[in-house]
Structure 1
Amino acid sequence: MGVEERVDFLYKDVLPFGAMVMVEIMLVGGNTLFKSASALQINSFVFTFYAFLVGFIFFLPYFFIHYRGISIPPIKFDIVCKIFILSVLIYLAQVFGYIGLKYSSPTLSSIMGNLSPAFTFMLAFFFRMEKVHLRSYTSQAKIAGTIVSISGAVIATVYSGPLVLSESVSLDWILGGLLLASQYFILAFSLVAQAKILMVYSVDLMVIFVFSVSGLFVAGIGGLVLARDMDAWKLEPNLILVTILYVGFTSGFFNGLIQIWILRVKGPVYVAMFKPLTIVIALIMGVMFLGDTLHIGSVLGGSIITIGFYGVVWGKARESKDAQPNQITAPLLETHDVLEQGSLIS
Structure 2
Amino acid sequence: MGKDCVPPVAMVLVQLGFAGMNVVSKLALDAGMSPYVLIAYRNLIAAAFIAPVAYLLERRSGATVTKKVLLQIFVSSIFGATLNQVLYFVGLKSTTPTVACALTNTLPALTFVMAAALKMETVRPGTPAGQAKLVGTAVCVGGSMIIPFYKGPVLRLWASPIHWSFAEHTSSASAPAAAAGGHSGAVAGDVLIIGSCVAWAVWFILQSRMAEGFSAPYTSTAIMCVMAGAQCAGVSAAMDRSLAVWKLGFDIRLYSVLYIGIVGSGIGFAVMSWCIQVRGPLYVSMFSPLLLVVVAIVGWAILGEKIHVGSAIGSALIVAGLYMVLWGKGREMDKPGLDNDKGDEEAAVGLAFNGKAAVASNRVEAVSLPVFSATNPKQEAPRNGSN
Aligned partner (choices 147, 172, 178) of residue 156 of structure 1? 147
Which runs of 5 or more residues in structure 1 are unaligned? 1-7, 335-346
1:304 equivalent to 2:317? Answer yes
For residues 163-174 of structure 1, the aligned pairs below 5 Å read 163-164=153-154, 171=183, 174=187
2:298 equivalent in structure 1 = 285
Using the TM superposition, name which of 313-322 and 258-267 deviates more: 258-267
AA of the residue aligned to 1:59: I
* Residue pair 1:28, 1:106 contacting (<8 A) in 2 also: no
Higher deviation after alignment, 133-142 or 256-265: 256-265
Residue type of the alignment partner of 2:255:
V
Q: How many corresponding residue pairs?
A: 320
> Does the 8 Å CA contact 1:51/1:248 hold for their aligned counterparts?
yes
Listed as ranges, the matches of 1:195-274 within 5 Å are 195-255=208-268
- Give the drift of 1:219: 1.6
Whether 1:58 aligns to 2:49 is yes
The residue correspondences of 1:127-166 to structure 2 (distance < 5 A) are 127-157=118-148, 159-164=149-154
Matched residue SS, 1:48: helix
Supply the distance in 1 between the matched residues of 2:210 and 2:22 (Cα, whole angstroms): 29
* 1:93-144: CA deviation from partner (whole Å, max 9, x where unpaired): 1122223333333333444444433322111011121232232222222222
In the superposition, relative to structure 1, how do residues 209 and 259 fare at CA in structure 2: closer, same or farther (>3 Å)? closer
- Deviation, 1:74, is 4.4
Report the Cα distance in structure 2 between the residues aligned to 1:87 and 1:280, rounded to whole angstroms: 28
Tell me the alpha carbon deviations over residues 249-276 of structure 1, each in whole angstroms, 9 at most, x when there is no partner.
1122234566788999999999888655
SS in 1 for 2:126: coil
- When the two chains are superposed, the root-mean-square deviation of aligned CA atoms in Å is 3.9
Q: TM-score under structure 2 normalisation?
A: 0.68
The one-letter code matched in structure 1 to 2:234 is I
Does residue 1:85 correspond to 2:98, yes or no? Answer: no
| Aligned AA (1:316) | K
Distance 1:163 1:173 in 2: 23
Does structure 1 conserve the Cα–Cα contact (< 8 Å) formed by 2:124 and 2:130?
yes
SS at match of 2:154: coil
For 2:83 and 2:273, locate their aligned partners in 1 and report how far apart those are by CA, in whole Å.
25
Q: Which residue of the partner structure matches residue 102 of structure 1?
A: 93
Cross-structure match for 2:164: none
- Partners of 1:18 and 1:83 lie apart in 2 by 26
% of aligned pairs identical?
28
1:38 paired to 2:29: yes
Shift of residue 29, structure 1, vs aligned partner: 1.3
Q: Aligned equivalents of 2:187 and 2:311: distance in 1?
A: 12
Q: Do 1:268 and 1:333's aligned partners in 2 also have CA atoms closer than 8 Å?
A: no
- 3-state SS, counterpart of residue 323 of structure 1: coil
Query: Structure 2 CA distance, aligned partners of 1:177 and 1:302?
Result: 20
Q: 1:47 matched to which residue of 2? A: 38
Whether the 8 Å CA contact 1:150–1:305 is kept in 2: the answer is: yes
Cα separation, 1, equivalents of 2:277 and 2:77: 26
Q: Which runs of 5+ in 2 are unaligned?
A: 156-178, 338-357, 368-387
* 1:329 aligned partner: 361
Is the contact between residue 124 and residue 130 of structure 1 (CA under 8 Å) also seen in structure 2?
Answer: yes
The alignment status of 1:73 with 2:64, answered yes or no, reads: yes
Structure 1's 209 and 289: CA in aligned 2 closer, same or farther, altered over 3 A? closer
Listed as ranges, the matches of 1:167-186 within 5 Å are: 171=183, 174-186=187-199
The one-letter amino acid paired with 1:164 is V
What's the secondary structure of 1:290's corresponding residue? coil
- Contact 1:259–1:271, Cα closer than 8 Å, also in 2: yes
Which amino acid in structure 2 is aligned with residue 162 of structure 1?
Answer: G
CA radius of gyration, larger in = 2
* Secondary structure, counterpart of 1:134 in structure 2: coil
* Structure 1 residue 190: Cα displacement: 0.8
Cα distance in 2 for residues equivalent to 1:333 and 1:179? 34
Q: For the residues of structure 1 that align with 2:4 and 2:139, how far apart are their CA atoms?
A: 33
Question: How far off its partner does 1:239 sit?
Answer: 0.6
3-state SS, counterpart of residue 329 of structure 1: helix
2-structure distance, mates of 1:37, 1:122: 34
Residue aligned with 2:211, SS: helix
Distance in structure 1 (CA, Å) of the matches to 2:287 and 2:77: 26
- Correspondence for 1:3: none
In 2, the alpha carbon distance for the partners of 1:328 and 1:246 equals 37
Q: How does 1:189-200 map to 2 (within 5 A)?
A: 189-200=202-213
Change (3 A) 1:68 1:245: same
Give the Cα separation in 2 of the matches to 1:89 and 1:195.
14
Aligned-pair distance for 1:23? 4.2
